[in-house]
Amino acid sequence: MNFCHLLAAGVIATGLTTLPAAAQHAGDAFIAAFDSNGDGSLTRAEYDAARAARFKATDADGDGALSEDEYVAEFTTRFEQQLAKSDRSAEKKAEERQRQIRQTHVRFGVLDTNKDSRIGRDKYDRVAERSFAEQDADRNGIVAANDVAATTARRTAARGE
């Protein structure tokens, strides 16, 4: 699966469905999810520290790798928090929950490139590297509002909209 597929999975994970607005929101959500000092931008150091902490917290058994159960459990916890804030009906939340959990299993399978049923830090970090690079449009090591706008415009143009 290429980065566009992973990005689409991430957009889906946020519960968004309209692509131009979703891409903008996905970029804003990317910053918000990792912006530890709350300044509205995301440095590479902030991102790396947050990803390292997330990996450690997700690795429930402390063996240095994520099992599918650990990976899905971490996502489910974050997704349930999103659903709790949603004004969707219980039925729509249940449908979205089912879709997202199914997609999370698919993402694990994609990330588990050697099919050993584990995602080590190396695999986890490669995805993080691509994700940050995709968002950092001006390649200055900081993802800010101008990067989100540029990335959204680039994706919209690539889709021919």
The span from the CA of 35 to the CA of 32, in Å, is 5
Q: How confident is the model at residue 138 (pLDDT cuts 50, 70, 90)?
A: very high
pLDDT of 24 reads 54
Displacement of CA 116 from its chain's centroid (Å): 22
Most trustworthy range by pLDDT among 29-33, 84-88, 115-119, 157-161: 115-119
- Structural domain containing residue 109: 3-158
Q: How many structural domains compose the chain?
A: 1
Three-state secondary structure call for residue 120 = strand
| 43 contacts 31 by C-beta, under 8 angstroms | no
Structure tokens at 43: 């440095």
- pLDDT (tens digit, 9 = 90+) per residue, 65-114? 999 999 999 999 999 998 998 899 999 999 999 999 999 999 999 999 99
The H-assigned helical ranges of the chain are: 3-13, 19-34, 44-58, 68-85, 90-111, 121-135, 145-158
- Any bridge partners for residue 143, and if so which? 42
For helices 121-135 and 3-13, angle between their N-to-C axes, nearest 10 degrees:
90
Q: How confident is the model at residue 5 (pLDDT cuts 50, 70, 90)?
A: very low
Average pLDDT over residues 109-133: 93
Q: Which helix (H) or strand (E) holds 37?
A: none
